[in-house]
Structures are given as C-alpha cells and as structure tokens.
Amino acid sequence: MRKLVTVLMIVLPLLFLVAVFAITGAAAIGVDIHANKLVITNKGTNGIFHLDISGYDERPLYLDDLGVEVRPVKAKDKTFKTVITDAEGNPTDIVGLSDDGKFLLEGVGVAKITCTSTDGGYSDSVLFNVTSSGALELGVQVTDAFSGEVELLKNADGAYYASVPAGTYFVSGIVYPAGVAGASVEYSSSDDDAAFVNGVSGEILARFSGKTTITLSVDGARGKITETLILNVEKPESVVVNGSKNLTIAVPKDSDRTVLYVEMPSAESYPSADDVGFFGTGVENFETESLGGGKYKITVYLSDDAGEEDLDCQLALGSVVKNATLTFSEYVFELSSSLPVSPSGEIAALYGTPLTLSIAAKPYDKNILYRAELTDDSLAEISVSDGYLTVRALKIGVATLIVTPYVLTESGEKTYPAVERNIFVTPHYTSLIFEESASTYGLKGNLAVASMRFDGDTAVKEPYKTGLVAKAKNYDEADFADLTFTSSNGAIASVSPLGLMDVKATGNVTITVKWKYGDLFGLKAVSYVYTAVDGVWAETYEDLMNASKERLKTVLKNDVDVGKKLFDDTGKALYDDATMQAILESETSLLPTTADWTYYKNRGLAQPNVRYAVEFTNDVFGNGYTLSADNITNMTDSTGNLRSYALFRGPLNFVAVSHNEMGASVKAQDNVVFLVRTNGVVIDNVTLLGCNDETLEDGSGLNLTLLNNVGTTLEIMSDATVTDSYVRNGRTVVRAFGRYGVNQDDSVNVEQEKINVKIEGCLLQNAREFILKIGTNRAVRATDYSSFDKTFAPRLTNASGEAYTAANSPLCDEYLNDDYFVSNYDLTDVVLKDSVLKNSGLFTIGMESHFAGGMLVGETFKQFDGWKNLAATSYPAVLHMVGNVVLDDWKPLSNVDSSTLIETNNNLAAETSFLNLNIRAMLESLKKSDEKYKNIIAERSDGQKYVHGGIAFYGGGYNYSMVDFSEYTFEQMKQYTINLSVLNRPDNDQSLQQQGQMLPYAAGGEDFRFIMFDATSAYGNGGAGQN
C-alpha cells in the first residue's frame, strides 16, 4: 500500500479512473447517413395494381413506375433489391422482371412485389392482381374414349392435325391464360355425318373415314379466337357401323327407326346403294344412301312390335353379308355444360356470364326435342334450341333445372323422363386478395391485430375487419356471397362470415377465404397469417401510456411520438421554461439506480435516480412502426448546449473528482428511454428510437456525439425477448445488467436474480458508446488488501474455495461448461441471434466488469471524496452469439472515442495532461509493441486506417464474463488480450509511458480482452470495404 501512495503523490494533484482508451475532448464522431425507410410511392389502389393481361403490353409497368424511394434523401446507400412472390410469400411465375425493369405478366393470379433496402433491410410491397378480360390463346387437346391422349401435329397453316381410327373421342380447348373463369369453348364439325361433335362437351363420334374439320372457338379478350382441328379418320380394315367394329347396335326402345352409318374397308369397287341393305325380324323396311367410297347411310324402319327383344339381323354389302344385332335400351340423356360441373353433379352458372348447356340422347337421336324450366324462374332465363340450352343468370342462388325430352308423333307428343339437375348461380370471382398482403410490416412482415381499442382511458373489445378484396365481374362483392372464412385456431381468433375477427388469445392464426366453387374455376383459396394479440391498439402517446399503466399487451397502429411536441417547426419553444420542465417531468418517471452507488453512499447521499420515458409492462407488437422519444431527449439549443429544463442530462457518476474548478467524472447508469423490468415481456417488430435520426444529422453524415445525453435506448432488467426490431440512437442502444428490485445489501441468489435476454433478428444501431452493453450489478468486494498489487479485488472461487484463474482471457469461456460456476455466478445471460450491430462510437459490444484499481480502495486526497470500497470483482455475464451475428462496425481510427467515459468540464492541468489520451497514438504504439498486435489496425490502399468495434471485455479488474460461439455461423473474429502496461515503452513519448504506468492504478492491473475483426479478416476486407 505504501508503494501505491507514493506513486499517487507523484501524480499530484489529480488522477482519475480510465476504463479503457480515451481521446482528447469530445470530437464529433461522424458516420454515414443510413437508410431508415423504404417506400413504394405508387401503390395503385390500396396497395394493389389491377392489371388486365390482355391489354397490358400497350401500357406496361416498369420498376421505376413504382417510385421506390430509400429514405432519407441523404442516405448514402439507396440501393434495393426486388423479390417477386405470390401473396403469401411463396415462389411464383405469375409475374417476372426483365433486365430493363419491365414487369412481365406470365399468368393470371396475385403476385407480391417486395423491395428491400440493401442498408437496413427496410421493405415495402405492392400487389399485382393479374386477370384477363378474356382468353388470349386457345390450345387443342384430343383424348380417346379411354382418356388416352391423341398425338397432334401442327400444319404449316397452323391447323392441328390428328389421324385416328373411327370411334369416340373428346376434343378440349385449352384456354390461356389459365384461370380465365367462364371461358366457354364451342365446338362444331364441317360434316356431322362423318364426325359429329357435341358443341358443348366436345365429344366426337367419328363414323366415316376422311378429313373432317373440327372448329374450336372462344370469346377472347380481343374478339373471337378460333382454332382448327383436322381429324383424319383412317379407312377401316373391316366393316364398321356407327364408328365401331362391334355390330351390336344400340337402338332406343320404342323407336320406329334408326340410322346406321356404315363403312366398308378398302376395295377396288363398292356395291351400289341398291345392293346394300339391312334385313331381319322386326325390320319392316330400309332406305340406303351411298355417300361414296364404301360409305353408306342406312335408315332402318322397325315394326311396331320391335323393341322387346334383341333382333338378329343381316347387313348386306353386295356379296358381303355381316351378322348384326339390334339391342334395345331406354334413352340415356346426358346434360353437358360449357362450364365446370361440381363433383356432385351440380351445374355452375356465373353471374353476368352466359352459360351454354347441351343435352343429348344416347343412343343418339337427333329427332328428340327438349324444353327446360327452373323451380325458381327468378334465378335465370333459359332458352332452348337444337339440344342446346342458354342460361342467363338474374341473381345469386340455387334452383333445380328440369329438362324434359320429347318427340312429336302422328298421335301427338311423346315425353321421356325429365332430367333434373341443381343449378347454382355464383358471383364470377376473378380474384381474392387480403389487402394486408400488399404491405410489409417491418422485419416481421405480417400484421399484428389487437382485440381491444381505447375509448378514452378504457380498453373496450373491438373485432378486426379483415381486408379482403373480392373482385367479381358485374357483381357487388360487399356481401361476400359464396365465400367462406375460416380460422386455423378458433381458440386464438374466430372469424365471421363477413370477415370480422374476434381475437381471443395471443398467437399466430391463419385466416383463409375460399370461394365455394373456386376449385371448379381454378381460383385458389387465399390465406393471411395474422399475429393475434389479446391486447389493445395504440394509436397515440396517450394510448401507449394507458396500455403501460394497465399492463396490457400493446399493438401499434401507426408511428407514435413519445411525449408532447414542445417546439414549433423553427425550433422555438411553445411554452415558458417552467411549463416545459413541468411537462417533461410529467412525461418521465424516476427509477432508483440499479448500478453501484457506493460513491453516493460514501458521501452520505441517498440512492440516486435515473429517469425513464416509457415502461413496457407487457408485450409490444410494433407492426414495424416507430416509437421515438425525440420530444423528450432532444433538448439542445442552437449552440449545442442543453436547455435548462432538460431532464436527460447524461449518466450518474460512478466516481467524480474536482480540483481548482476542474471537474471530472466516470459515468455509471444512464437515463432510460424504454424500460423493461417485467418478466416475460416480448418486444416484437418495432422501431425504438432514443431520438430521431434527423436530430443527429450534421452536414452529410450523422454525428454520434449528439447522443451524449439521449440516454439508453432500451434497458432490460428482467427476462425479456426482443425480436425483428430496429433499436437505435442512444448513448447506449441496449443495456442488460441484471434484475430490477434486488437489494444490493442482500446475499446473492443467482436463481432468483438471473435474467435471460434474447435478441433475435434485430438491427441495433447508432451508439455514442456501446451498441450492446452487458454486465451485472452484483460484485464481490475485497476486505483484505495485503495480497493485492494493482488489482484490489478478489477472484471468484469454486466449491472447494480454489480461485478461478482464467479471468480476462479466452480460457474464461470454458467456465460455461462448469456447472458450479454458471449456477453460482452467472447473473445475466444474453442470446444474440441473427442480428446486425452497427455504428458505435466506442465498441460494438461491451462486457463490463467492476473497476479494481488501488485508487478505489480508500480516500487519499480531499479531491477524491467518496472514493473508497469501490474496487470489486463483478459477477459475470454470458453472451451467446448464435447464427449470423454481424458486428458491422469498422470505423476510421479517428472515430474511436471513449471521452464520455471520463467527462471533464475544462482542460486538464499540465501535470496531468497525460490523461488526455490520444487513441491514434495509443493504438499505433500498441501495433508496434509486439508482432501479435500488428493487424489490429487495418490500412486501406489510400492510407486510411480502420479499426473494428468488436467485443470489449473491460474494467481493469477480474473480468469473468464469457462469450459462447458454439452456434455462431458468421466469420470468426480474432482474439486479443492487452494490458495497459504495454504503453510503458522507452520509445513512446512521455505521455504514453505515464499512461502505461499510472492507469492500472486506477482501473486495475488485469488485461483487457477484445474479440474483433482485424486486417486479416475477410469481412469488410479488413476495413477496405468501409467508406
């Protein structure tokens, strides 16, 4: 101890604590202006562009037409990337993007265009609802009676060509774009005798060889579209009747005649019509018509008693006689629709779109007539002609269609059993879209909705109306006819037929809307995943504070400014000083400091307070919106000085000293903007600002020194989770130092006091000192100094009382595997996962431990009033680096500034000028001091020198805090351990030598540990990628 006192007397009259590196004064720390928003300024109608593919090429959309803006205007990096998905975020080929920025419409449906800034990952989205007013192209497909596909060729003139034997086939028109609901293809034949085609179903009865032209037509977006199928029916190798080699011929019961279409195989000559006939019991007569080439049409007249039993007959073709059988059966009437039919047989009709039906008898008989009626004739108008029914819907609904077949005989009308089929009229929906899909809500992407809103100060229940847009042709979609809303979890949220969500609990829930007949018309169900929150909407500052008071979960509906606006747009105060102070006091609360306040206690003072602006007493779901405390923290005047009524005036003191009107202090806990001290709070998808970004603008960049008095942006004093959020602009951005409400005089109870903090998917940015500061409020103090040299604090011990000796080194991280160490000492556990930390004035992450130099043991001079019993060993904290954690914190050497750790109100006296630390000289000296430090500074080709913020384990005493990299996937950083005594080199100037000699007596004599990228790192190319 005597040696220590001697040294302190040499350094008269002033020495004060330095935690790590410091530089002269508080120079401006300039960083680039970063992006803080991306906005698509042209978002169509409510975020949706409704595009008709049929006329799109006349006025196409380009990416530039969306008016994508990366803000603010002065942001250095304004680049962004564009991703195209479906509305639910899955890959899609509906819309493409050409190299020249033109959006290409490749199909019908909904596509989501999302633009995301390169800097910060800020996003905005817009939907393209791509429809077509009609078909653009028509393809052709032919299948046989067994659904086998028939090979088609295409002639030089564009006609399709198929060569097939006689028989039954089906032709289908394939409409492009797919999903043009209501596109009805019509079919016709150039020769019904040779190849009869059903004009609605496309069924072909190919009866004679030769070429028959089948015409397909559809109403297209630009007029009628037709395609031609040339059906070449091959010459049979044996006799065929009605397109079949099977000479068992079906005849309707009670028929007085039937028509046979007969063809012979190839021959040199064919019999004349007079030599072709049909004979047998029950056959009264026949008439034969020769169609040439061995083709005959034979009308067979039957006796009155025919039809009860099969008739054995003979088909005479000149000298060739074939046995044939007439078999009698009841008519089967087939009803076909130009639109899809439901699996249960119901016929669909689209409101505003004419529907064509065909009815045909099997066995075929063109002499049968039909009449049709509906059980509800107000549903639709129906007309009948030549076996075709045209339906024109008048309203939405269901009725039974009754079609009665009949024939006219000499004795009058003969009817057959009616065909009955349900027919439903449904809106012609062309698209279903959730408007919520048109926006990107912060980093999370999806929207959180609350179960309540504030009516005054009272939270009242309110359902959420989903933003479904149901587009239908010629129909008012307001009543959502034939649409069904469903919830994936009714215990979380139910949904009404009109899309009103009743939120019952907190959790993700998928709301799905399905058109009852969507499967028939190719319109898929749509879904949106909401985060349902059994909490309250916050639209105003008053709502936010009421939610905190009532301890309700909070969902932001928009950006909210914390505190009342106190200045006009010119910066003039709106009230007098006393009123301004009263308002600020009403908008902030006092919190007894949780940091070491021994210095105050030593001086007979009460436990000091810090102030906080907003406490999150329950979960906060931000929807990407911003909470900014600029109205409270931005209290500097035009000269840069704090106004007299400012309440955020910087941190409390750890220690302070004054001498000859020169004051200096080392700071402890700061004021807090956003506070969490309730267990289990989740902060999700919100932007938390200590002050506005604009407040920091200084010419072409941001000046981080303007954050000196902003306070800690987010202070966590309990188990808490922060996900998918932006947190920025504070002296410290996020601070986690142990549990609130612990009495420092009580024995440590790790199980009760430990806090677990998780930060995942976040961007933490812009700190005057540290972006993330981790530590504990508990420490072990020394009681016997006889065994100490420069570090006046005890080591932590194991169950056997043996000292843990690996503090301040990478080996300390191995204590993570020591159950005793973790269960008895770890008081703060932080998981940092898949996050980016950027722009610190000092270090990216600080792992702080107690100071332990001899200066803190007992008072030596009157200027050091209260400097006793301060040296200690902190309980450790643990940082788990998980996944891609990027410390994007390369900075010019000149920007490293720890001047806030020791604040002075005047220049130091000459005899203590060595404490005006020059970071550049210190780091340059360190680099030269040993080969192992040669890469700690990275130098670009232009001579600019950079250092990386990294992770700093500091304090000067025994630092037992640990970092876990077992699940870290980004590039590994380099480890450095540095002792301040390295500055005590003969080739350094006197000031640096004195720093190496004296500083350990203040901070402690142990190593400082740093984990950082250096000149050999690939990330940032050793700073070369920084500007």
pLDDT tens digit sequence for 321-335: 999 999 998 889 999
- Residue pair 104/191 in contact (Cβ under 8 Å)? The answer is no
Structure tokens at 733: 């951005």
Q: Are 71 and 186 within one domain?
A: no
- Which residues, in sequence order, are bridge partners of residue 279? 314
Q: What is the sign of the dihedral through the CA atoms of 206, 212, 218 and 221?
A: positive
- Residue pair 808/958 in contact (Cβ under 8 Å)? The answer is yes
Q: What is the pLDDT of residue 254?
A: 79
4-13, 582-591, 793-802: the lowest-pLDDT one = 4-13
Does residue 492 form part of some domain? no
Q: Are 774 and 855 within one domain?
A: yes
Q: What is the pLDDT of residue 859?
A: 60
| Strand ranges, E, within 481-542 | 483-487, 493-495, 500-503, 507-515, 526-538
136-150, 327-341, 371-385, 445-459: the lowest-pLDDT one = 327-341
Q: Are 687 and 786 within one domain?
A: yes
Q: Helix, strand, or coil here: 826? A: coil
Does residue 821 form part of some domain? yes
CA angle 776, 782, 784 (to 5 degrees): 175
**Count of domains for the chain:** 4
For the cut 90, the answer to whether the pLDDT of residue 456 exceeds it is yes
Residue entry with tokens 């169609």: 291
Does residue 243 form part of some domain? no
Structure tokens at 546: 């009421």
Q: Are 91 and 205 within one domain?
A: no
- Which residues, in sequence order, are bridge partners of residue 938? 946
Q: What is the pLDDT of residues 632-670, one digit of tens each?
A: 999 999 888 999 999 999 999 988 876 554 566 778 999
Q: Tell the burial category of 737 from Cβ atoms under 10 Å away from its Cβ (0-12, 13-18, 19+).
A: buried
Residue of 163 and 855 predicted with greater confidence:
163
Residue entry with tokens 């990228």: 1013
Residue entry with tokens 């006192």: 5
Q: What distance lies between CA 926 and its chain's CA centroid?
A: 46
Residue entry with tokens 């070491």: 596
What is d(CA 316, CA 298) in angstroms, rounded to the nearest whole number? 11
Q: What is the CATH number of the domain that holds 172?
A: 2.60.40.1080
Q: What is the mean pLDDT of residues 221-234?
A: 93
Domain end: 314, 329, 344, which one?
329
Does residue 220 form part of some domain? yes
Q: What is the CATH number of the domain that holds 323?
A: 2.60.40
- Residue pair 984/1019 in contact (Cβ under 8 Å)? The answer is no
Q: Which of 371, 359, 347, 254 is nearest to 302 (CA)?
A: 254
Domain containing 159 equals 135-235
What is d(CA 878, CA 874) in angstroms, rounded to the nearest whole number? 12
- Residue pair 438/472 in contact (Cβ under 8 Å)? The answer is no
Q: Are 712 and 743 within one domain?
A: yes
- What distance, in Å, lies between the first and last C-alpha atoms of the chain? 50
Does residue 1005 form part of some domain? yes
Q: What is the pLDDT of residue 152?
A: 96
For the cut 80, the answer to whether the pLDDT of residue 391 exceeds it is yes
Structure tokens at 435: 């408007």
> Which of 155-164, 278-287, 725-734 is modeled with the greatest confidence?
725-734
What is d(CA 327, CA 317) in angstroms, rounded to the nearest whole number? 21
Domain end: 204, 235, 266, which one?
235
Does residue 368 form part of some domain? no
Residue entry with tokens 């609605």: 200
For the cut 80, the answer to whether the pLDDT of residue 537 exceeds it is yes
Q: Helix, strand, or coil here: 902? A: strand
Q: Are 836 and 982 within one domain?
A: yes
What is d(CA 721, CA 680) in angstroms, rounded to the nearest whole number? 7
Q: Are 90 and 179 within one domain?
A: no
Does residue 456 form part of some domain? no
Residue entry with tokens 């009107």: 661
What is d(CA 291, CA 193) in angstroms, rounded to the nearest whole number? 10
- Which residues, in sequence order, are bridge partners of residue 881? 832
Does residue 985 form part of some domain? yes
Distances (CA, A) of 273 to 262, 278, 300, 336, 845: 12, 12, 14, 37, 104
Q: Which of 660, 665, 630, 625 is nearest to 646 (CA)?
A: 630
What is d(CA 111, CA 102) in angstroms, rounded to the nearest whole number? 15
For the cut 60, the answer to whether the pLDDT of residue 131 exceeds it is yes
What is d(CA 853, CA 957) in angstroms, rounded to the nearest whole number? 7
Q: Are 104 and 58 within one domain?
A: yes
Q: Helix, strand, or coil here: 990? A: helix
Q: What is the pLDDT of residue 829?
A: 99
User: Who contacts 141 (Cβ-Cβ below 8 Å, separation ≥6)?
Assistant: 149, 152, 171, 172, 174
| Percent of the chain's residues with pLDDT above 90 | 72
Q: Are strands 223-233 and 160-164 parallel, antiparallel or unpaired?
A: parallel
Q: What is the pLDDT of residue 926?
A: 78
Q: What is the pLDDT of residues 895-951, one digit of tens each?
A: 776 566 556 555 555 544 444 555 566 677 778 888 888 999 998 878 888 999 999
26-40, 673-687, 990-1004: the lowest-pLDDT one = 990-1004
Q: Are 25 and 162 within one domain?
A: no
Cis previous bond, 13, omega within 30? yes
Q: Are 889 and 961 within one domain?
A: yes
Q: What's the pLDDT band for 1005 if we cut at 50, 70, 90?
A: confident
Q: Are 126 and 142 within one domain?
A: no
- Residue pair 324/283 in contact (Cβ under 8 Å)? The answer is no
Domain end: 302, 329, 356, which one?
329
For the cut 60, the answer to whether the pLDDT of residue 133 exceeds it is yes
Q: Are 123 and 217 within one domain?
A: no
